[in-house]
Amino acid sequence: MHENKSFMIAGIDHFVLTVASLEVTCAFYQRVLGLERIDTPGRPTALAFGNQKINVHEIGRTFEPKAKAPTLGSGDFCLITDRPLNEVCARLAANDVAVEVGPVERTGARGPMLSIYFRDPDGNLVEVSEYEPDKT
């Protein structure tokens, strides 16, 4: 979609969520979305998927440097699935996670997609999207 080769950024490696409970948050993302928990001594716990990860900082136990004002529930992000969105919805339902919005049409970085929105245990807004198949 964007052909500008002057971009200095090629992708996202990770982002950080500040959470009330490391254990509750990790269990949620492992159970509901199948993310892999990685614990490394002296490093933030991570939830890995594909070539990206979410670093998880428990409130009061953050790592330096950090955001100026780490806040519970301030996250709002979109994850891309390579599975049918109805499969994700079924997994959410099986884990008693309510879909707040969706499926709805959205436009992502690569074009049209279908999205659902739900909240994690800290109130972060999680969007999971499926890109529409190429119509060429």
Total number of domains in the chain: 1
Supply 101's token pair: 């919005």
Residue 63, domain CATH: 3.10.180.10
Which residues does the annotation mark as catalytic?
A: 127
Is this structure's pTM higher than 0.75?
A: yes
Closest Cα to residue 123, out of 22, 14, 19, 33? 19
Does residue 68 belong to any structural domain of this protein?
yes
Does residue 1 belong to any structural domain of this protein?
no
**Residue 36 lies in domain:** 14-131
Does residue 4 belong to any structural domain of this protein?
no
pLDDT tens, the chain, 136 aa long? 556 677 788 889 999 999 999 999 999 999 999 999 999 999 999 999 999 999 999 988 877 888 888 899 999 999 999 999 999 999 999 999 999 999 999 999 999 999 999 999 999 999 999 998 765 3
Q: Is 127 helix (H, G, I), strand (E, B) or coil?
A: strand
Where does residue 126 fall: left (phi above 0), alpha (psi -120 to 50 degrees), or beta otherwise? beta
Supply 130's token pair: 């499926």
